[in-house]
């Protein structure tokens, strides 16, 4: 049966090949991706309001140990976790108090929170030593909507969420508070996760609860314009959610006050997804926001961290349980984790070299182009 598609349809007009199977488990290729993608893009490292002033946190990005600092004046900085004297680690704990100085415990070299070398302690430099040349190795830091990002590249690229930097401007993002957090290790390559995220062909068979909440998902599509017979004149549903539901909770009822500045279209949508490759996606609802962060920790293992963000007044409600709000999306994420790991195991077959995408998997095709472009920019070509 041939596919009849409107010229404005996002559906593919062919069935392209996927990335080669070996790129999902080969250690050498994984190392190249770390350098070409994870060390060059903006990587989400947490919420600003979860890093108290006067605190430094040890983090890892693309195999590099870093320290993320929030000083008592409210400034956020980031540096390689390396003393310029002889390379000792500066921060050994997950989090440590941060005063006016970052001091190495080995020989007491001390740095200002902007990275400048302040003291060599008991060492007595000679005339050939220029203190200004021995500050900490700085890493680019950016805040967007209360989220903190770092970039290891010498020159940081623009931060480019798929829906634009203004996509969440009607949500009070910077003032939201983390109410619930989960972490899970997925036994799959990071690209497998993003591929699952980018299609809904699996939804009818994998996500019964989600398909009940979002009826169009029962058709294996994420939006009306993905239907093979779609045209711009087709009527639009009043809401993406089932009748009576306004948000992603078990009941569909809001968990607290709804955000006051949302447009009628944003309320009717029930959810807005914003993606920042390769590091995270954000799902904004009328009453709360979920942020999901990925961090590859091996060719076939990925750490997934999910945070549910709420207004402070919602968290202050008597008897409020943020874990109960999180329970619905947690079911969906656990189902996705199961099939992503199943996908990863199957990719190890000696007979399977590449797959073929269906027309509805246009977003996976775009993601593959995104990966290829960044690898090719680093001189690495995927066959």
Residues 151, 152, 158: CA angle, nearest 5 degrees: 35
The pLDDT value given to residue 383: 75
Helix (H) or strand (E) holding 374: helix 362-377
Largest distance between two CA atoms of the chain = 80
The pTM assigned to this predicted structure is 0.95
Write the CA distances from 281 to 101, 113, 183, integer angstroms: 35, 30, 15
Q: Quick: pLDDT tens for 224-248.
A: 999 988 888 878 877 899 999 999 9
Residues of the chain where predicted confidence (pLDDT) is lower than 50: 1
The pLDDT value given to residue 229: 86
The pLDDT value given to residue 308: 98
Q: What is the token pair recorded at 322? A: 């943020």
- Each domain of the chain, given as residue ranges in start order, spans 21-38+161-377, 42-156
Query: CB count, 10 Å around CB of 113?
Result: 22
Q: Quick: pLDDT tens for 161-208.
A: 999 999 999 999 999 999 999 999 999 999 999 999 999 999 999 999
The pLDDT value given to residue 1: 45
CB-based contact 106:87 (threshold 8 Å) = no
CATH architecture of 42-156: 3-layer Sandwich (2.102)
Is the domain 21-38+161-377 a CATH 3.40.50.300 member? no
Q: Which residue shows structure tokens 């590859």?
A: 296
Query: CB count, 10 Å around CB of 178?
Result: 17
Q: Which residue shows structure tokens 């009043």?
A: 238
- How many whole angstroms separate alpha carbon 221 and alpha carbon 230? 12
Query: CB count, 10 Å around CB of 205?
Result: 11
């Amino acid at each position: 049966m041939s596919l009849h598609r409107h010229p404005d349809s996002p559906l593919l007009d062919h069935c392209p090949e996927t990335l080669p199977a070996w790129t999902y488990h080969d250690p050498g290729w994984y190392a190249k991706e770390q350098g070409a993608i994870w060390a060059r893009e903006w990587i989400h490292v947490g919420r600003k309001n979860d890093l108290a002033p006067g605190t430094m946190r040890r983090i890892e990005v693309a195999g590099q140990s870093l320290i993320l600092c929030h000083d008592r004046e409210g400034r956020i900085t980031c540096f390689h976790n390396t003393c310029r004297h002889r390379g000792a680690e500066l921060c050994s704990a997950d989090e440590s108090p941060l005063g006016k100085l970052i001091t190495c415990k080995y020989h007491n070299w001390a740095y200002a929170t902007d990275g400048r070398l302040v003291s060599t302690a008991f060492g007595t430099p000679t005339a050939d030593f220029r203190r200004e040349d021995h500050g900490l190795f700085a890493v680019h830091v950016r805040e967007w909507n209360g989220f903190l990002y770092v970039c290891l590249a010498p020159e940081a690229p623009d931060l480019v969420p798929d829906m634009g930097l203004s996509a969440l401007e009607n949500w009070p993002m910077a003032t939201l508070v983390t109410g619930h957090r989960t972490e899970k290790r997925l036994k799959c390559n990071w690209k497998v996760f993003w591929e699952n995220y980018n299609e809904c062909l699996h939804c009818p068979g994998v996500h019964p609860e989600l398909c009940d909440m979002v009826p169009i998902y029962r058709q294996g599509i994420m939006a009306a314009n993905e239907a093979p017979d779609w045209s711009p004149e087709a009527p639009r549903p009043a809401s993406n959610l089932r009748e009576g539901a306004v948000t992603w909770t078990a009941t569909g009822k809001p968990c607290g006050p709804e955000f006051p500045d949302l447009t009628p279209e944003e309320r009717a949508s029930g959810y807005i997804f914003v993606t920042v490759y390769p590091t995270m996606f954000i799902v904004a609802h009328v009453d709360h926001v979920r942020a999901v962060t990925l961090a590859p920790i091996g060719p076939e293992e990925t750490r997934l961290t999910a945070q549910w963000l709420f207004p402070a007044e919602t968290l202050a409600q008597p008897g409020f349980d943020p874990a109960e709000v999180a329970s619905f999306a947690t079911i969906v994420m656990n189902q996705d984790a199961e099939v992503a790991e199943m996908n990863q195991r199957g990719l190890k077959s000696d007979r399977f070299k590449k797959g073929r995408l269906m027309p509805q998997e246009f977003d996976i095709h775009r993601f593959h182009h995104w990966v290829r472009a960044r690898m090719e920019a680093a001189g690495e070509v995927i066959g």
